[in-house]
Amino acid sequence: MSNLPRRTRTYQNHHMDSTRWDYFEPRNDDIVIATSYKAGTTWTQAILAHLLFPGGRFPAPPFDMSPWLDMRIVPLEVVLNKLKAQQHRRFIKTHLPLDGLPYRQDIKYLYIARDARDVFMSLWNHYSAMKEETFMLMNHLPGRQGDELPPPPKDIHVFWKNWMTRGAFEWESDGWPYWSHLSNVQSWWPYRHLPNIQLFHYSDMLADTEREIRRMAAFLEIDVPDHAWDTLIKAVSFNEMKQQGDLYAPGGGQFWKGGAAAFLHKGTNGRWREVLSDEELVLYEAACKQVLTDDSRKWLENGGPV
- CATH superfamily entry for domain 18-302: P-loop containing nucleotide triphosphate hydrolases (3.40.50.300)
Sheet hosting strand 108-113, strand order edge to edge: 91-94, 31-34, 108-113, 197-201
Residue 62 confidence (pLDDT): 86
DSSP 122-183: HHHHHHHTB-HHHHHHHHHSTT--SS--PPPPS-HHHHHHHHHH-BSSTT-SSBTTS--HHH
Within 13 Å, how many C-alpha atoms sit on residue 52's CB side? 23
The full set of domain ranges for the chain reads: 18-302
Q: How far apart are the first and last CA of the chain?
A: 18
Q: Specify the pLDDT at position 1.
A: 47
Regions in the chain scoring below 50 on pLDDT: 1
* 152 to 29, 101, 233, 289: CA distances (angstroms): 40, 28, 35, 27
Kindly state the helix (H) or strand (E) to which residue 259 belongs, with its residue range.
helix 259-263
What pLDDT digit, counting tens, does each position of 198-230 carry? 999 999 999 999 999 999 999 999 999 999 999
Torsion sign across C-alpha atoms 227, 233, 235, 239: negative
Going by C-beta distance under 8 Å and a sequence separation of 6 or more, which residues neighbour residue 293?
Answer: 186, 189
Residue type, 32: V
- CA-CA-CA-CA torsion for 269, 271, 273, 277, nearest 10 degrees? -130
Phi, psi of 155 (to 5 degrees): -110, 125
pLDDT reported for residue 244: 72
